[in-house]
Amino acid sequence: MIAAAGFLERARSLVDEALERHLPRSPDCPALLAEAMRYSLFAGGKRLRPLLTLAAADAVRANRPESEAIADALPAACAVELIHTYSLIHDDLPAMDNDTLRRGRPTLHVVYGDGIAILAGDGLQAEAFALIAREPATDDVAVVARKVKAARVIAEAAGATGMVGGQTLDLQAAGQVPGHPLELDANALPAMHQRKTGALIRASAESGAIMGGGSDAVIAAVRSWGGHVGLAFQIVDDILDVEGSSEELGKTAGKDVAGNKPTYPSIFGLERSRRMADECTARARESLLNVGLDGSQLARIADWVISRRS
């Protein structure tokens, strides 16, 4: 993301500042809960999803000032990061992936126990929707309508037809649901990951396009871009689980293989998986080209997704 470094560093700072500002503190919530939520939220993640939200808002803003479009989209950007972090906390639990390392340090349940980890995840999810309902505070009918639309997009991506549904299929496929086995073939694996990982990445970009004031055609193109990038991201993730180290990834390498999880390399092989990721990125570029956004920050982010090592 070298070419986009200036924008992305500035956007990341805005997101971190807003997350710190909006997350509840004691005495409004118990001190232990506030501490646990911050432990995972500020553990040094890439902030990919909120960056997508802000990059999309910037890409579609047309004649609107950049500062205005970014300010309108910032609450949605924070919301998707809160939801993403909650999902990681829950995914790491013993009943799910049972992982002890996340972002280079012990997972939340290892430090605070399963109960507090569950509650911290629950709190982050609820705060996401409280924030997007509350901010930006305005009586502007157009902005309020965008907020409602963005909230629906994010909720659907996070829920039973999106991320939660995908995690359910993942647990079944890994043999973790007694009496409900599921075998994922070459067609079913992408469909599962479009829910589990792709849905929130797609919604991150789409909600940014909505809050940035994009037209219906532009929002649809960004949504398509997000879907392709989300799938590419998961394919690369699966490849890195095989080729990367725990130090590079900040999480336990080889976990999918050890857990007998179906992955792109296990079904398609490494070389075919790499080609599939490249094909997804090419389709993402085409989505932007069709609406004249091929020179935006979104195009540069898609290139980074393919080349990343963590």
How high is the pLDDT of residue 204? 98
Task: Pick out the chain residues at pLDDT < 50.
Answer: 1-3
**Class of 5-307 per CATH?**
mainly alpha
Q: What is the pLDDT of residue 1?
A: 37
Domain ranges of the chain: 5-307
What is the C-alpha to C-alpha distance for residues 148 and 164, in angstroms, rounded to an integer?
21
pLDDT for the residue numbered 28: 95
User: For position 77, what pLDDT does the model report?
Assistant: 98
CA–CA gap between residue 242 and residue 253 (Å, rounded)? 7
Which run of H or E residues covers position 105? Answer: strand 105-106
Tokens encoding 39: 């432990």
Strand partners, 102: 105
pLDDT at 3: 42
Q: For the full predicted model, state whether its pTM sits above 0.85.
A: yes
Distance CA 261, CA 170 (A): 8
Structure tokens at 9: 């560093």
User: Which pLDDT belongs to residue 177?
Assistant: 94
Asked if residue 299 lies in contact with residue 59, where contact means CB atoms within 8 angstroms, the answer is no
Neighbours of 80 (CB within 10 A): 31
| Token pair listed for 274 | 């790499």
Instruction: Give residue-wise pLDDT tens across range 52-97.
Output: 999 999 999 988 899 999 999 999 999 999 999 999 999 999 999 9
User: How far is the C-alpha of 91 from the C-alpha of 87, rounded, in Å?
Assistant: 6
